[in-house]
Every structure is written in structure tokens, then in C-alpha cells.
Structure 1
Amino acid sequence: MANYTAADIKELREKTGAGMMDVKKALEEAQGDQAKAVEILRVKGLKGATKREGRSTSDGLVATHVADGVGTMIELNSETDFVAKSDKFIELADQVLDLAVQNSAASAEDLLAAEVDGKPVSQIITEGGAALGEKVDLRRVGRIEGANIESYLHRTNKDLPPQVGVLLAFEGDDTEVAHDVAVHIAALTPKYFSRDDVPADIVEKEREIALETAKNEGKPEQALPKIVEGRVNGFFKENCLLDQGFAKEPKKSVASVLEEAGVKATGFLRFRVGS
């Protein structure tokens, strides 16, 4: 005769997030002792986590926090979208985001090494994944400071949590324009803030490619310098936020739209799950 009830099963499932059969087996092994059953599930879950180490985590979510001129963003990954949209996974992401804020973490490495009551955050995430039955990874943590921070989260699928997150640091009062620029960043994926932020070796490589392409096209020698500069400027317009054509008014650059609104952008972060 079972020494536990349906209410015991429900309570333990809510407490651990484990499956019904796993909960039943743990309660049987623990002879109905809830605390012992929790420990059994934890041990089994962590053993399972070891087996899951080599698995791919391509789903998940992006979450942000903004307060006192500081924006923090995390990307937490799961193996499947089924887990990514679960309440338990979202709760774990909220916990990890809170810990990132509390520790002023600026990278995943910083946060994973931080400790909470003597336990590293990496272990908290591993245990969270064990309860969910999947490998869970903290892929990225970003932190940005500014006079103002605009946060934008985008769902690529209405049934899933946000997959794209943007934090835009700016000076000025026009929050509507700041929001529109954050949406622009989410959609047009700039790699750099301004052309000054593009590494010199990448610019040089673009010049080399532009020169070789122009020569192969048979362009006249005297026209090559102008053609190369034009193509390098095209690279900047495609990849640098301030040079990009604004999504809502493509004939205007983002820089000119910000200037007209009296807003000065000072930096941004953009995360997309899995990329």
C-alpha cells in the first residue's frame, strides 16, 4: 500500500518540477518522506544533467532589467521550445537575471562564477535544468550604462517568450524615438554602434575585397579609389547603427533621426536566441 497520497504527488511536482512517474518513484523510495524524496529527485536530476552536457541548446529566451541608468540583459538557453515556454524555465530565467543585476555582472563568465549562499550560480542553473529534464545554458550576459536606457523585447513566435532583446543607452527626453530606434535595432541587426567601433582589420579587409571586386569587374584604374570608398561606406551603412537607414524612414540615417529629436544614443546591446 502506498504511503503517500495524490496531494503528496501534486505538492512534490510543484516543488521540484519533476515528472509524475519520477515523483512517484521518489516517494516510494523515500517511503513517503517529502524531504528525502526531494533529495532523491535532486540527485537523479544532477546525474541526468551530466548525461545532457553534450546536448545542443538552441532554444530559450532573452530577458532584461533596467534601473538607475543601468540595463542588464541575459540569454538563457534550453534544448527545446517546449521547456523555453514553461513557467519553471521562465522563473529560472527571472532568478538568473536578478542575480546578474545583484552582482553587476557584465558577462556570463562573471555571473556563473558568482556565489549565492556558498553555491555558484553555475550550480543553480544546472540544478534548474535537472528539474526541467533538459540541459540549460547561460549563453550571454550584457550590461550597459547611460543617462537613460530603453529596453525592447521581441517575440518571434507569439507562443514563446521573447527571442530578441535590445538595450539602448541614450541622452535626451524623446522616449518615443528611443523606442523606435530600439525596435530598429531588433529588426535590422546592426553589428556596431558607429563606424569608429569597427575594428581596423575588418575595415582593411573590406577595402581589399572592394578593390579586388572592382578590378575583376574591369573598372578603370583611375576610378578605383572612389569605387572602393563607396563600397566601404556601403559596408558601414549596412552594419553600423548610426549609418543605417532608419527603418521607419529609410531615406534618413538613424543618426539624423536622433539628431532631429534631440536624442544622443551612446551605445546598445542586442541579443537573439541562438545567434
Structure 2
Amino acid sequence: MDLGIRGRRAVVCASSRGLGRACAEALAAAGCEVVINGVDVERLARTADEIAAATGARVIPVPGDVSRTDVQDALIAANGSPDILVNNNGGPPFRDFRDIDRRAMLDGLIMNMVTPIELIQRVVDPMMERGFGRIVNITSYSVLQAIPGLDLSSAARAGLTGFLSGVARQVANRGVTINSLLPGNFDTDRIRAMLASRHKATGRSEEDIASELKAAIPAGRFGEPSEFGSTCAFLCSVHAGYITAQNILIDGGNVRASF
């Protein structure tokens, strides 16, 4: 399917690996010029070269922590005012809620709520003026189903969801859509790190832990990052102009909810 976004300019935050990279790859394959971002300068440059070689697209690396305003400035300036923004960022680590002090709470909110809002504030008016804009926020299935130990991350992402619910409806009549993708368990570095951490804590093999997790997912497996990236690219396409203010769960059926 031709997504109708060839030549569009995209910014994908935290995209040197994992689900962010998958989104950048899918948008580049659709013909977009893509700005990618990450804190590891060498990995970011390598990712940019790999995506460009695989797709023929122009890929611009902008290193740094996307929560910093100077990095945000650089992202927006890298290819002019973007037509597509994919918000993504790391989240607070697993931690008992009793151990989360005020500074950690504020940092978590900045990472997973304030930063994406700031970026949307920067790009949404030019999108509206042009009559086309696609904003996709990568959040988590924990917005819908609690994950003990990720309380701060879940709260910040839920706050973002609530904030943007009204915003999306204010800009919909100008060709701008705002949606969120809620990933479940995907085969990324993040889940491999989690498996290693549980192995260290319990002594069980990573293979056994992974098998147990997969067995609890109706699809019987972890998701492939490319599946996530393709969904993101579709939401950014001309075909998705009537989809907005939605939270789209991609989890293999793991969240047991009817609505």
C-alpha cells in the first residue's frame, strides 16, 4: 500500500533502537525524510546509516536527551518544520512506589508527559497551517492495565493520554491527528534487559522466564518491532486522517478488556 507520505518530513524521538527505530524504519521505507534521535552518539550514527542504506531515504541523526529543550530545538530545526512527529522516550525503572521521592516523580513526569507535550506545542500550529499533521505517541499498555513497579511510568503516560484527549479534538478539523500506540511485550533490548534482571533476581533461566511470559499472551509470542513500526507508519499515512484521539493497543491480546 502506498501510504501517501513520500517526501514528508518526520521526527522520531528515541529512535536509535527498539520500537522507536522500527517506526523510523517504516517511515523511511514509506519515503519520508526522517530525523532520528538517541543519547548514544555512535549507535545513533550507525542506525542512521543502516536505515538510509536499507531505504534510500535521507536520515538525519540528532543526538541528545529529548527532554532537554536544546535537543528539542535541534530536532525541530533538523529538517524544517516536521509533518510527522513520533513521541518516544525511556521511562522510569521498576521501583517500589515507597522508594519514589519527589525528584524522581518530577523527572518521570518530565520524561513521559511534559516532553511530548512540549514537542507537540512546537509543531502543531505549522501542521495546522499546512493542513496536514500526524502525531503518534508511544506510551504503554500500562495506561490500561497496572504493572506493579512501573507506577510512575504508568501515571505519567496516563497523564499524557488525558491531556491530549482534548487537544486532539481541537486540531482535528485542520488535518492534524494525534493518536497513541500502547505496546505490550516486544522483542527488543528492553525486554531482554528485563529477562536478564529477573534471571539475576531469581536464578531461573532467561529462556524459562521468556516462555512463561509468552504463554500468558494469547498470541503466544512477543511482538516483532517491525509490526509496531508498520502500524505507526499507517497512522501517519493519508489513509488514517479520520483516526484521532485513539489509544491503539498492540499487545497480542494480553490486556483482557472488551473495551
Q: TM-score, normalised by structure 1?
A: 0.24
Question: Could you say which structure has the higher strand fraction?
Answer: 1
Structure with larger Rg: 1
Q: TM-score, normalised by structure 2?
A: 0.25
Greater length-normalized contact order (CA 8 Å, ≥ 6 residues apart)? 2
